[in-house]
């Protein structure tokens, strides 16, 4: 199965350079394992990225501790976004691999405040397979755990 490969070694990774302070960013939060900063694109006001401090390209490369820390950071930022921007909802988005929409090969979670009519849209092509197909998929995953 093809895997997303990290085309950005740490010295040329934009987020590594940002975390090192070599390029500017509007930081929100940081701890030993993560750094949270404003996404330059601001899909909605308050759009934050929570990234691993260490260079890890994807979910497959980050440690369990790093993934947990990113999720805890996302929760903390989401709580702050609720107070600061009064959104109707909040969306967490985390892409791995170009085919999944990842454009920066350094593990990060989007925290996106959501509002009615904010223009964000996804296509979500449901397949609704038969229960036997679901059972087969589950068996394949259990065997791989």
Positions marked active-site: 108
Backbone angles phi, psi at 66, to 5 degrees: -65, -45
- Which of ligand 5GP, Zn ion, none interacts with 37 (beta carbon under 5 to 8 A by kind)? ligand 5GP
Interface characters, 17-36, with ligand 5GP (x: CB under 6 A): -x------x-----------
- SS3 track for the chain: CCCCCCCCCHHHCHHHHHHCCCCCCCEEEECCCEEEEECCCCCCCCCEEEEECCCCCCCCCCCHHHHHHHHHHHHHHHHHHHHHHCCCEEEEECCCCHHHCCCCCCCEEEEEEECCCCCCCCCCCCCCCCHHHHHHHHHHHHHHC
CB of 2 to ligand 5GP, least distance (A): 18
Nearer to ligand 5GP, 34 or 102 (CB): 102
> Looking at 30-38, 52-60, 70-78, 136-144, which segment touches Zn ion (CB under 5 A)?
52-60
Does 8 bind ligand 5GP (CB under 6 A)? Our answer is no
Among 16, 28, 59, 74, binds Zn ion (CB under 5 A): 16
- Which of Zn ion, ligand 5GP, none interacts with 40 (beta carbon under 5 to 8 A by kind)? ligand 5GP
User: Which residues contribute to the site for ligand 5GP (CB under 6 A)?
Assistant: 14, 18, 25, 37-41, 49, 95, 101-104
């Amino acid at each position: 199965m093809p895997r997303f490969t990290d085309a950005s070694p740490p010295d040329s990774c934009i987020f590594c350079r940002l975390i090192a302070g070599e390029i500017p960013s509007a930081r929100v939060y940081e701890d030993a394992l993560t750094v949270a900063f404003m996404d330059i694109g601001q899909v909605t006001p308050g759009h934050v990225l929570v990234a691993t401090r260490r260079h890890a390209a994807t979910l497959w490369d980050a440690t369990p501790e790093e993934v947990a820390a990113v999720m805890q950071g996302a929760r903390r930022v989401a709580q702050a976004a609720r107070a600061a921007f009064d959104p109707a909802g909040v969306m967490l988005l985390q892409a791995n691999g170009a085919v999944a929409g990842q454009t920066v090969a350094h593990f990060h979670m989007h925290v996106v405040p959501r509002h009615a009519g904010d223009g964000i849209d996804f296509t979500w092509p449901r397949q609704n397979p038969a229960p036997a197909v679901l059972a087969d998929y589950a068996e394949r995953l259990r065997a791989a755990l």
